[in-house]
Structure 1
Amino acid sequence: MKFQFNLVVLWMQLGVGVESAVENAITAIYGQFVVLGCSFTVSDKSSLDKLFITWQRKNAENIVHSYYYGGDQLENQDPQYAGRTSLFLEELKNGNASLKLQKLTFQDSGSYECYIDYKPKPDPSFVSVNVVAHYDEPILEITQKLSSCLLSFKSRGYPKANASWYKGANLSHSLSSKDSSYTSEDGFYWVQSKMEINVTEKHSSYTFVLRNPALNQTISRTVHLLNLESITGTYHPPNNYPLIASCIILMLLVIFVLFCSYSSTQLRRQEMLMVN
């Protein structure tokens, strides 16, 4: 039932009809699967052994999936798609030539062409796939300086997201920040946003917002800070200097008495040795 639900939703979204050369667009999630819709008119179910289906990248020669002689023919399949493609074989008799592509990567983004050789022969259909990824829970780093505090949030996703900082819960005016991003080996974007503030108020709060428009994803996190003195634990010298001074003097006196006693004992021993 879950499979049937996904298939129906995608067909409703695409409004597929290969007679039309309109390119349909799908936003797909990294690591999941997508169904590329394609259909044809079945004239005679007994003639399906003459059906020829080819899925390939638009304006490219690399084969994504082939079907003919009544079965899948994957000898010439691009290795990039090996083990990740399948047709709905039980649906061919109903004119459904849709392709299921699993374990999506960012390299799967692009346009796909569905070519069918069958009577009546339909026009090729095109589907555009955009693979995106949700951003992870942001990693917060706080660096305390002498008179300021550096707040930094970092997160991973795709495509490049927008980062903003705000004072408190007021999201109408963004604050100045230093943003950077880079692409990791697996194709993900790492977005980092830093903001340095002077902690002068008794209590301060700042809100970090990360927006990924491709998935309509918004992550909002608020950081509450105490004043600088509370954060750093500023050391206040004790005000009981007289007591400390007295203890130091007493310790010196004890050391002096012990030294005198030791010297007197040594002197008497030397006198006794001289008498003997």
Structure 2
Amino acid sequence: CGSFVLFSFTAEFVKTLITEELSSCNIVLPCKLDHPMDVVDEMVEWSRSDLNPRFVHVWRSGEDHLVGQNPSYKNRTSVSTEKLKTGDVSLKITKVRLSDEGTYRCFIPGLNFYVFLEADIEITEVSPGVLECKSKGWYPEPEVFWLENKGKIISAGSKEMLRGPDDLYVLSSRLTLEKGHSNNITCRIQQNNQYREAKIHVPG
């Protein structure tokens, strides 16, 4: 079984792996700085606020520091020393389980850099010819793009960005379809070179 790179880590995905008897699969939760730099000597914390203890993996002083690691992740997590040299602190989790579902926080205290890794996105036709794309669970603030079926970017439409009580962004964007637009429309939410998409077919 190969490795999977995930931006959004959902229960449905893990359940699919298990029912297909692929529980030995590995996943990679991506997290990297916008500008490459060596963070081998920085502290890197991966955590889940719904766990006690909350730490999934900690890197400190050039090595793994797993004293306070949640026992459910014992011997299943790692970061790449080579990738840390370029600012990539992505976390590899092996032998995924249904209990691995959750919102993961990637945090580098010395740089005050952090990313949350869970986001939901949906697209609906709220009125004839008007599409709405909603998404939540983002940090930092993401970008939104509307695309036609061949990947051509069309008008971004209106956009509203709110900060929720958990400090994560909630986004809403509307697009009014015009003559010549494809019937197959995609809403793409993008952040730090990672993105999620939702698609809709609008009958002609």
TM-score, normalised relative to structure 1: 0.37
Q: Which of the two has greater helix per residue?
A: 1
TM-score, normalised relative to structure 2: 0.48
Q: Which of the two has greater strand per residue?
A: 2
Asked which structure has the greater RCO (Cα within 8 Å, sep 6+), the reply is 2
Structure ID, larger Rg: 1
